[in-house]
Amino acid sequence: MPAIVMVLIVGVLFYLGYRYYSGYLARRVYALDDSRPTPAHTMRDGVDFIPTNKHVLFGHHFTSVAGAAPIVGPAIAVFWGWGPALVWVVVGTIFAAGVHDFGALVVSVRHKAQSIGTLTREVINTRARVLFLLIIFFLLTLVNAVFSVVISNLFVANPEAVLPMLLEIPFAIAIGQYIYRTRSAALIPSLIGVVLLYASILLGQELPISLAGIAAEDGLFTERNIWVILLFVYTFIAARIPVWVLLQPRDYINSHQLFIALGVIGLGVVVGWDRIVAPMINDQTPDNSPSWFPLLFVTIACGAISGFHSLVSSGTTSKQLDKESDARYVGYFGAIGEGALALGSILACTAGIVATTADWHAAYSDFGTASGDATSNFVNGVAHFAGNLGVPEATAVVFAAVVVISFAATTMDTGVRLQRYIVQEIAEIARIRPVARSLTLSGIIAVLIPLVLALLPGGGEDGYTFGVLWQLFGTTNQLTAGLALAVVAVWVTKSRRNPIAVLVPLVFLVVMTTWALIDNLLTFVAEGEWVLAPLDAIIFVLAVWLIVEAALALRQARSGSGTSEPVEVPES
C-alpha cells in the first residue's frame, strides 16, 4: 500500500476529531467560559504565571509533551504489525488523548493552576492526593531516566548532532531575551532560531563531539553514562530559571521543528512514492514474543494517550493560559499533533527503513531488537524521506537525530521542573520544610533519583537497557493517564455534566494498565529484576488504592453532591 494513503486517511480523521469532537467537549463537557479570568492573570508573577499568546503556549506545551515517546513507542509497536499500532494511535488520539490533555488543562485552570496531583485533594479527597503524588513521583523518575538514556544513546551514535544541540541553548536564550525585553511577537525570532540550528548541523558534521576518549581514560563510566550525568547537570540548571529565559523560546523553536519534520516525512513519502512494506499483522513473531494485548496500549503511550501530558497541562501550561477558550487549541490540538508525530514514526519504520518485506522482518526479527533499535529506525527512516527530497544522506541522518534529541531534551527540561514541584508538594505534606521551601534541595532530589536509576547496574553493560526501562515507564505513564481521567470524570460529574466521554477511555486504560503492571511484575520476578519488581509492585498497590478512592468519589458525585457550573457556552 502506498504510504500516502495512510497519511490522507489519518489526516482526515484527525481533522474531524478536532473540528467536531473537541467542539463538543469545549461546549458540553468542559463548558469553557472566557469571562473567567485564568490563573495566568489572577496569580501573575512573571516567572511561572505569565499570560501567553496561544500559539506561543502551544509551542511550549506541544514540544514539552512531544518528546521522543511518540516516536519510540510506535517504532517498537509496529513489531506486532502496523495495523494495531495505527488503530490505537488514531482512536487513542481522538477519543482518549484529546479528552485527557484538554480536561487536565481545564480542571487545573479552574483550580488556580494546581497540579493534577494536588487538585486530587479537592476533587476526590486528601488521601487520594498523597497517593497520586507518589505515583506521579515514580512516573517522572522514569520519564527523566528514560529520556536521558534516549538522548545519551543518540549522542553516542551521532556525535555530529552534539554541537547543534549545544548551540540551540544560546540561540534560545537570545531569542527569549529579545522577545521579553522588546515585547515582540515570537514567530520571526523563533524561525531565525530554527535556521541557525539547521545551519549548525553543517558545522556539527565538521566538528563532531565524542566523549569516547574521556570514557576510555576515566574507566569508571561509559560514554553513554557520562552524557547521562551531564544531561542531569544541565536540567538541574534549566529547571531553576524562569520559563521565558530558556524553556519557552526553545520550545517554540522545537515546535517549528516538529512541523518541519512532519513536512519532510509527508513530502518525502509523496516524492519517493514509498510503499509500506511491513505487514499489517505480523504473523512471524518468535514464540517467546510478548503479546500485543495488553502491551500494545502501554508501549504506545505518547502518540495515543499519555499521563505525562496531564502533568504538563496542569504543571506549566495552566499557569500560562491567557483565556479558557485557548485550552481547546492548546490541549486537544496538541494531542492531535502528537498523534501526527506517532503516525510519522509508523511511516518511517514501515516504509522508510527498508525496501522489501523480507528486509523489514530482518530488522524486526524479535521484540528485543525492535526495542533496542527503535530510535535508530526512526532516524534512518526520516533520513530516507529527506533523501527523497535531495538532502545528502549524512546530513539527513544528523537532521533526524537533532529532531529526536530536541524533543527529548525539552521533555527532560519540563520533567525535571515538574519533579521539583512534586518533591516540594510531598515535602510540604511530610512537613519537611527545608526541602519544601528550597529550590536547590528539591531540585537536587529531582535530578538525583532518576540519575541513579539511569546509571544503576543491571539489564545490560551500561545499566538497565532501554527496553527494560520502557516497559515500566509505559505502564506507569498510562496508569497516570487513567488516574488523571478519574479526577476529570469526578470534576465533570460534580459539575452536573455528562462524564461519559471521560469515563470510556478511563475504564479502558485502567483495565489495560493494571493488567500490564501485573504482567510486568511476573516478568521482573521471573528474570530476577529485584529493583524493578518491587518498584512495579509499589506502583500497582498505590494504583489499586487510588482507583478505589476515585470510584467512591465518582459514586458520591453521581448521587447528587457537587457544584453547578454552566452547561454550555458558545463555540469559539
Domain count along the chain: 1
Separation of alpha carbons 298 and 317, rounded Å: 25
Q: What is the mean pLDDT of the chain?
A: 89
Residue 571 forms part of a structural domain: no
Domain with 30 in it: 3-558
The grid coordinates of residue 21 equal 469532537
In this predicted model, what pLDDT tens digit does every residue of 208-234 receive, in sequence order? 999 998 888 876 788 999 999 999 999
Query: Is the alpha carbon torsion for 15, 16, 19, 22 positive or negative?
Result: negative
Residue 141 forms part of a structural domain: yes
The amino acid occupying position 313 is: S
Per-residue pLDDT at 560 exceeds 80? no
| pLDDT of amino acid 197 | 95
In which element (H, E) is residue 69 found?
helix 69-77
pTM here? Answer: 0.88
ω into residue 294 within 30 of 0, thus cis? yes
Residue 354 forms part of a structural domain: yes
Segments in 306-390 forming alpha helices (H): 307-315, 326-327, 333-347, 357-363, 367-372, 374-388
In this predicted model, what pLDDT tens digit does every residue of 330-343 receive, in sequence order? 999 999 999 999 99
Separation of alpha carbons 262 and 268, rounded Å: 10
Q: Does residue 490 contact residue 554 with C-beta atoms inside 8 Å?
A: yes
Per-residue pLDDT at 542 exceeds 90? no
| pLDDT of amino acid 570 | 42
465 burial via Cβ count (<10 Å: 0-12, 13-18, 19+): middle
Residue 569 forms part of a structural domain: no
Residue 173 forms part of a structural domain: yes
What CATH number has the domain bearing residue 228? 1.20.1740.10
Q: Tell me what the mean pLDDT of segment 105-115 comes to.
A: 93
The grid coordinates of residue 569 equal 457556552
In this predicted model, what pLDDT tens digit does every residue of 168-187 receive, in sequence order? 999 999 998 998 888 887 78
If one counts every other C-beta atom within 10 angstroms of the C-beta of residue 392, the result is 12
Give residues with Cβ within 8 angstroms of 121, minimum separation 6. 128, 129
Nearest alpha-carbon partner for 86 in 332, 346, 270, 344: 346
Separation of alpha carbons 131 and 138, rounded Å: 11
The whole-angstrom distance between residue 456's C-alpha and the CA centroid of its chain comes to 23
467 vs 138, higher pLDDT: 138
The amino acid occupying position 300 is: I
Give residues with Cβ within 8 angstroms of 385, minimum separation 6. 264, 265, 267, 268, 269, 272, 274, 347, 348, 352
Separation of alpha carbons 303 and 90, rounded Å: 9
Per-residue pLDDT at 348 exceeds 90? yes
Q: How confident is the model at residue 561 (pLDDT cuts 50, 70, 90)?
A: low
In this predicted model, what pLDDT tens digit does every residue of 449-489 receive, in sequence order? 999 988 876 555 454 556 667 778 888 888 889 889 999 99
| pLDDT of amino acid 105 | 97
DSSP state of 97: I
Residue 565 forms part of a structural domain: no
Residue 567 forms part of a structural domain: no
In this predicted model, what pLDDT tens digit does every residue of 496-517 receive, in sequence order? 999 999 999 999 998 998 898 8
Residue 502 forms part of a structural domain: yes
In this predicted model, what pLDDT tens digit does every residue of 41-77 receive, in sequence order? 999 987 788 898 898 888 778 877 777 789 989 999 9
Upper half-sphere CA count for residue 156 (Cβ side, 13 Å)? 20
In this predicted model, what pLDDT tens digit does every residue of 284-306 receive, in sequence order? 999 888 889 888 999 998 889 99
